[in-house]
């Protein structure tokens, strides 16, 4: 939460676990129309840019007609993988976020982005949380991964070390790519809720696209205020699940002792080489 420049949302009447009632009836006609526009535009990009598992989950949700009622969507999701949706006023502290995932509950922000930030916004809104994250919760492997992630999160919080785990979430849940027989596809929620970053992450030749390597992901800092400089590519969701389950804890000690690297750097043996003109650092410093 401390990273985000301006927290929005009404946190006044929420429960201790940050949940609120969605009050689906209070959305305006204009907000529903904005949802339909966002949805129609992004749905057009899925065939070319999104992983099939994501497309399947979107079809199961069938939420194109307007801002979804979370209780209805939650019942449909629970029947499939046991995940439920809860409404929250916006970004919530990592401890609470992980605790929800550990209980197979996904927090969904209750407000929708403004007309002036349709292509990209820094904070998660209901379009990002619902359209971006919920479809893959219909996929059994990813559904289990997200709960495992929550369990690791609770453990990391007890160790006071969630920074490294958040990188894993950031790169592999928010901005992950996957290699398929039909080429490179996006599955990360952070890309697939942003039309601009969806295209950028697959088509643009400026970002690095690296094979998934858990240790490198754990060491690499990320941006919260712009498209990513580096995307990691999975061979399968099972690969992510197995690596996290088996290697996160043992690697954790090692990574703690190594210097962190920025996305425009690569590690060759014991050397760290900065790619490009190092502009990432200036931009980062400016951010």
Ligand X SMILES: C[C@H](O)[C@H](O)[C@H]1CNc2nc(N)[nH]c(=O)c2N1
Q: Whose structure tokens read 């601009």?
A: 196
CB-based contacts of 143, cutoff 8 Å, min separation 6: 81, 82, 83, 104, 136, 137
Choose from Fe ion, ligand X, ligand PHE, none: what does 92 bind? Cβ within 5-8 Å by kind.
ligand X
Of the pair 18, 27, the CB lying nearest ligand X is at 18
Q: Whose structure tokens read 């210097």?
A: 259
Clarify whether 201 is annotated catalytic.
no
Clarify whether 133 is annotated catalytic.
yes
CB-based contacts of 64, cutoff 8 Å, min separation 6: 36, 39, 40, 43
Task: Restricting to residues 73-102, name those near ligand X by CB under 6 A.
Answer: 88, 90-92, 94, 97
Torsion angles phi and psi, residue 110, rounded to 5: -100, 0
Choose from ligand PHE, ligand X, Fe ion, none: what does 91 bind? Cβ within 5-8 Å by kind.
ligand X
**18-26, 99-107, 145-153, 181-189 -> range binding Fe ion (CB under 5 A):** 181-189
d(CA 153, CA 176): 19
Which one, of 27, 242, 33, lies nearest residue 148 by Cα? Answer: 242
Give the binding site for ligand PHE (CB under 6 A).
120-121, 123-124, 128, 174, 190, 193-194
In whole angstroms, how close is the CB of 189 to ligand X at the nearest point? Answer: 8
Q: What is the enclosing helix (H) or strand (E) of 177?
A: strand 177-180
Determine, following the binding rule CB under 6 A, whether residue 146 of this chain makes contact with ligand X.
no
Contact pattern for Fe ion over residues 136 through 175, marking x by CB under 5 A: ----------------------------------------
d(CA 230, CA 218): 13
Asked if 195 and 41 count as a contact pair (C-beta separation under 8 A), the reply is: yes
Clarify whether 197 is annotated catalytic.
no
Clarify whether 2 is annotated catalytic.
no
Determine, following the binding rule CB under 6 A, whether residue 109 of this chain makes contact with ligand X.
yes
Q: What is the enclosing helix (H) or strand (E) of 89?
A: none
Beta bridge pairs of residue 180: 183
Determine, following the binding rule CB under 6 A, whether residue 124 of this chain makes contact with ligand X.
yes
Torsion angles phi and psi, residue 225, rounded to 5: -125, 15
Of the pair 45, 166, the CB lying nearest Fe ion is at 166
Of 169, 212, 222, 231, the one binding ligand X (CB under 6 A) is 169
Provide the binding-site residues for Fe ion, judged by CB under 5 A. 124, 189
Provide the binding-site residues for ligand X, judged by CB under 6 A. 88, 90-92, 94, 97, 107, 109, 124, 166, 169
């Amino acid at each position: 939460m401390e990273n985000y420049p301006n927290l929005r949302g009404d946190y006044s009447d929420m429960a201790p676990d940050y949940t609120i009632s969605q009050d689906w009836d209070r959305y305006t006609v204009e907000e529903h129309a904005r949802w339909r526009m966002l949805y129609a535009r992004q749905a057009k990009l899925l065939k070319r840019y999104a992983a099939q598992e994501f497309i399947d989950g979107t079809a199961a949700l069938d939420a194109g007609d307007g801002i979804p009622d979370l209780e209805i969507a939650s019942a449909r999701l629970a029947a499939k993988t046991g995940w439920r949706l809860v409404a929250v006023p916006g970004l919530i502290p990592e401890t609470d976020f992980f605790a929800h995932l550990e209980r197979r509950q996904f927090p969904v922000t209750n407000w929708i982005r403004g007309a002036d930030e349709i292509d990209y916004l820094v904070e998660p809104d209901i379009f990002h949380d619902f359209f971006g994250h919920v479809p893959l919760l219909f996929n059994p492997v990813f559904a289990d991964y997200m709960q495992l992630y929550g369990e690791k999160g609770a453990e990391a919080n007890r160790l006071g070390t969630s920074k490294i785990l958040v990188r894993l979430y950031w790169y592999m849940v928010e901005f992950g790519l996957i290699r398929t027989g039909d080429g490179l596809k996006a599955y990360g929620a952070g890309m697939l809720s942003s039309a601009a970053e969806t295209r950028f992450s697959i088509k643009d030749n400026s970002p690095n696209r690296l094979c998934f390597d858990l240790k490198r992901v754990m060491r690499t800092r990320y941006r919260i205020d712009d498209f990513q400089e580096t995307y990691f590519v999975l061979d399968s969701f099972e690969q992510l699940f197995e690596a996290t389950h088996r290697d996160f804890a043992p690697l954790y000690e090692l990574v703690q002792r190594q210097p962190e690297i920025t996305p425009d750097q690569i590690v060759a043996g014991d050397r760290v080489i900065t790619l490009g003109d190092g502009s990432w650092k200036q931009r980062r410093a400016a951010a």
